Structure 1
Amino acid sequence: MQFQFFWIPVGDPATATATLNRTLAEQRVIQVDSEFVQNGQMVGWAICVQTTVAAVRKGEAAPACDGQTQPASTAKIDYRDVLSADDFTVFAELRVWRKKRAAEEGVPIYALATNEQLACVARERPASKAGLEKIKGLGSGRIAKYAEDLLGICRSADRVAAVQR
Structure 2
Amino acid sequence: MASSSKLKKTYDIFLSFRGVDVRNNFLSHLYKALDQNGIYTFRDSEELRKGDQISMALMEAIKESCIAIIIFSENYASSWWCLEELAKIMECNEQNDLTVLPVFYKVEPREVRGGRKSYQTALAKHEYKFRKDSEKVKRWKEALVKAGNLSGWHLNDG
Higher helix share: 2
**Shared fold, TM over 0.5:** no
Larger Rg: 1
- For the aligned pair, the TM-score class normalised by the smaller chain equals under 0.3
